[in-house]
Amino acid sequence: MISSSPGAVRSGVFYFSQGWKLVTLPGIRRFVILPLLVNIILLGGAFWWLFTRLDSWIPSLMGHVPDWLQWLSYLLWPIVVISVLLVFGYFFSTIANWIAAPFNGLLAEQLEARLTGATPPDAGIMGVMKDIPRIMKREWQKLAWYLPRAALLLILYFIPGIGQTVAPVLWFLFSAWMLAIQYCDYPFDNHKVPFKEMRLALRSRKSMNMQFGALTSLFTLIPVLNLVVMPVAVCGATAMWVDCYRDKHAAWR
């Protein structure tokens, strides 16, 4: 049993590392299986396909580098590769999260009960089914918040100079914040905390959540580890909810 300490002020690194321990808890592992399978099938297949295409995509993207930056090509090439991986990884992890959202919510709910000593809620299939409309509505809210901001950042990639230098950094920071929102939202949504209220709560501890999201984003790029990062991030975010937000925001339920 790995207990949380409500009110403790810890880093996002701590909660991400806790996620790796929490997914192995007896009684919790069975709720990890379905999110894990979704991630392995979708993200694993997507990255396999991407790596077969990088040889043709990267030279094409490097062709947009202006002549006055050609002398920096040896530095820009890895930045372009990382940029492609970031955009691609976040896109397909978003799709995986959509498909696995009901199971991620269930995992967060069961883990919260385990961490707080509460009676675990009904984990039957009917319990999952009745929550699907609410969960999908929440996923649409996240997508509506995300898309216009992502579109603006993607436009920057096509601006010579900026697209190869500044845009990758901005995309990484944005992805880190969006992944913190994505995974922290599962325990918040289980307690029916409104989406706007959840974002304000995360903003009050922005440094911690950016650390958590940045690590999640980095592990999404690492082969093999990216296949298991989804349930790990759900567990880490749930531990963060219990320690930092539950006392104040569980009242919404």
Q: Is the pTM of this model over 0.85?
A: no
Give the largest Cα separation in the chain, rounded: 64
112 domain-assigned: yes
What does the pLDDT profile of the chain (253 residues) look like in tens digits? 444 555 556 899 999 999 999 999 988 888 888 777 777 777 667 767 766 766 665 566 556 555 655 555 555 556 666 666 666 666 667 777 777 788 889 899 999 999 998 877 765 566 666 777 888 889 889 989 988 998 888 788 777 767 667 877 888 899 899 999 999 999 999 999 999 999 999 999 999 999 999 999 888 877 778 778 889 999 999 999 999 999 887 754 4
235 domain-assigned: yes
Please give the residue range of the domain that contains residue 145: 12-252
Q: How far apart are CA 84 and CA 61, in angstroms?
A: 10
1 domain-assigned: no
**Total domains present in the chain:** 1
155 domain-assigned: yes
Burial 143-162 (b: 16+ CB within 10 A, else e): eeebeeebeebeeebeeeee
203 domain-assigned: yes
Q: How far apart are CA 112 and CA 116, in angstroms?
A: 6
Q: How far apart are CA 173 and CA 78, in angstroms?
A: 18
187 domain-assigned: yes
5 domain-assigned: no
241 domain-assigned: yes
